[in-house]
Amino acid sequence: MSARGPLMIGVEGPALTAGDRARLRDPRVGGVILFARNFESSSQLRALTASIRALRAGLVIAVDHEGGRVQRLAGGGFTQLPAMRSLGALWESDPDAARRSARQHGETIGRELGAHGIDFSFAPVLDVDSGRSTVIGDRAFHSDPVIVADLAAELVRGLAATGMAAVGKHFPGHGHVDADSHHCLPVDPRPLAAILGDDLIPFAALIAQGIEAIMPAHVEYPAVDARPAGFSPVWIGEMLRGRLAFDGLVFSDDLEMAGAHSAGDIVARADAAIAAGCDVVLVCNGFDAIDDLLARWQPPAQRELARRYARMSRR
């Protein structure tokens, strides 16, 4: 089996279990997202990714590997990268040095992940830091959207130099809400004009430069649509695909996050994300939820899925 389906899932530990193997053989599964629980050593991680590929050709393997607070793979062959805010701070005194450092960060991420059989990271964060969001905070490059776009573009160039694709997140911007979408549904009440003039600037810039994938936020923007962005055909269809002319892969954020629960049970969430325009849905940590989804979910055919997936794999 080599066809990649519209579901990306986690695996249980440092080696594949019987349950993992059964899930990964399902043709609806197109990829694996790794976490700290899947990493013990460099050699173990290489063995894990090799076993995933040996089980089923074509599965893509990803990880959240930004640096700072969000770096699932630390030690054992991986450089501990600083939070991206450090690059924004450097930009204040030496923009050219900050750009060089951002590109080097991208090269480091791409080189080290690729050496361990991992196709891409869910990076860079394109959120603009308003000083309100603690879950974003120093994960954001800067409070100025133009500087965010500048530094993120350099990091993406570094990834590209190693053959690695990039995923911009969290569209259309998570930086102006206090709440953490892991624990509740944040609401950003600003009008569309305010979002267009700030948060969307980095996304528009990176899309124009050819970024391969985007991840929408589990955040509600009621002045634009009553549905969270990850379930919104307004945000994904009209804004991302239409206004910004993005033709790459759209990954949902994790459907187990509390910010996604407004759509219903796990099947309803997957259906809502796909109906809104997501190509691939993520269920990362709850293996009962993954099993429930695989038992009951019938995703629609997606004509563009294979083409968009092809841009994400190193192979």
Average pLDDT over residues 93-122: 97
Report whether pLDDT(181) > 70: no
User: In total, how many domains does the chain have?
Assistant: 1
Q: Is residue 81 part of a domain?
A: yes
Average pLDDT over residues 171-191: 83
- Band the pLDDT of 315: cuts 50, 70, 90: very low
User: Chain-centre distance of CA 277, in angstroms?
Assistant: 15
Report whether pLDDT(260) > 80: no
Model confidence pLDDT, tens digit, residues 286-309: 999 999 999 999 999 898 999 999
Model confidence pLDDT, tens digit, residues 138-175: 999 999 999 999 999 999 999 999 999 999 999 999 98
The whole-model pTM stands at 0.94
pLDDT at residue 1, as a whole number? 36
- The torsion angle over the Cα atoms of residues 289, 291, 296 and 298, rounded to 10 degrees, is 100
Give the relative orientation of helices 85-93 and 145-161 as an angle to the nearest 10 degrees. Answer: 110
Q: Is 150 a catalytic residue?
A: no
Q: What is the CATH number of the domain that holds 36?
A: 3.20.20.300
Q: Is residue 2 part of a domain?
A: no
Q: Is residue 315 part of a domain?
A: no
Q: Pick the closest to residue 257 from 149, 174, 199 (CA basis).
A: 174
Domain of 191, in residue numbers: 7-310
Q: Is residue 29 part of a domain?
A: yes
Q: Is residue 18 part of a domain?
A: yes
pLDDT at residue 130, as a whole number? 86
Q: Is 182 a catalytic residue?
A: yes
Q: How far is CA 221 from CA 2, 30, 142, 173, in A?
A: 38, 30, 22, 10
Contact 163, 125 (CB under 8 A): no
Task: Please identify which of the residues 129, 138, 253, 279 carries the catalytic annotation.
Answer: 253
Least-confidence region, from 180-184, 202-206, 237-241: 180-184
Q: Is residue 108 part of a domain?
A: yes
Q: Is residue 1 part of a domain?
A: no
Instruction: Please give the mean pLDDT across all residues of the chain.
Output: 93
Task: Please identify which of the residues 182, 247, 261, 291 carries the catalytic annotation.
Answer: 182
pLDDT at residue 3, as a whole number? 72
Q: Is residue 107 part of a domain?
A: yes
For 3-20, give one letter per residue: b (16+ CB within 10 A) or e: ebbbbbbbbeeeebeeeb
In whole angstroms, give the CA distance from residue 35 to residue 21.
17
pLDDT at residue 259, as a whole number? 66
